[in-house]
Amino acid sequence: MVNRMEQPSYATLRLSAQIGQRWPNIEAARSLSAKTLTELQQALCNLESEDASVVVLGSLGRKEFTSGSDIDWNLLVDGIADPNHHALFLDAQQTIKVAAPKGVGREGTFEAFVSSHDLIHKIGGEDDTNRNLTRRLLLLLESTPIGGRIAYDRVIKNILKRYLLDDRSFWRGTTVHRHHIPHFLLNDLARFWRTMAVDFAYKLRARSGKGWAIRNIKLRMSRKLLYVAGLLGCFRCHLDWPEGDRDAMFKDESCRLDVVNWVRETIFSETPLDIVSDFLLRYKHLHGTASQLFTSYDRFLGILSDSELRQHLEELPEDTADGDIEYRKARELSHNFRDALLDLFFDQASGLAALTRLYGVF
């Protein structure tokens, strides 16, 4: 139970306290995530490096780890090639396999060396592969470093510098509406969301339909949450600043690195759920929307933490899914989640509706 005399430790828990509703599966996943991260950090404490960081992604990176989760991770390298990186990688690989024996996906996105050069310099164009795009956006939206974080923090900041400092309209404000929206980042987030949706169809064919139902529900829930958090983060670049302060800050070229640091520390250092929660905490009229959104997501995490139910969905053939009661319940949760998101992003009083119409649709 939360001690009401103390400030709850993260935004989603503060939102829960504010509206008087508990989400036990979110709390349990957060607690198991903290425990697992602590164990990994202790096991990997000797793998310190200023030019490489072990980074976990996926459910553990989002702090939504359950008993059935795997651990997606990469060795992020931000420096010259060093033979010692191979030993660091093997040590990390062995340690993480003990913590989560379930293997990662076979597409090669995870459990790999990842170069900062590709993430930072290959944004857009033919060289920005789906894999590179996915690694870059997951690093922003659902990552946590294990052990040394010097390289990790440096790479995140440099990715944001590419997105923000190269975006002329972000600093000037749009011509008519004077909105300071990071279009470069926003467009890449939209591309990432569509890539996840297209990849779902690809994996369905490549894996002969195996695991269709559980991947379908994840696409509707946790994958969609990533896009939602990124989209809301872009809108918050405008909405979080009082109008007078915003115009003065963005027009002053000497303040641009301060803005980059603010975006990193205030928005993209949080989990996707906390990015959404932090925004909802400001608007009492959205408490009903918050309740529907987070109750749906809480029940989704309850499905993932129930080993029998999770296995049932992992093994459910596509051609029988529509008649399966458990899949139908899960799909209904995803509809409730979607409807709450529509209420949020088309809310007039918060200013989200205008931004959604202008930048989220076309």
CB atoms within 10 A of CB 123: 19
CA angle 139-141-142, nearest 5°?
Answer: 75
118-158 pLDDT, tens digit per residue, is 999 999 999 999 999 999 999 999 999 997 899 999 999 99
The overall average pLDDT reported for the chain is 90
The per-residue pLDDT for 205 is: 67
DSSP label at 52? E
Chain centroid to CA 213: 21
Query: What is the reported pTM?
Result: 0.92
Can you spell out the DSSP letters for 55-110? EEEHHHHTT---TT---EEEEEE-SS--THHHHHHHHHHHHHHHH--SPPPTTSSS
pLDDT tens-digit series, residues 255-305: 999 999 999 999 999 999 999 999 999 999 999 999 999 999 999 999 999
The residue among 183, 151, 132 whose CA lies nearest residue 51 is 151
If residue 25 lies in a helix (H) or strand (E), which one and from where to where? helix 24-43
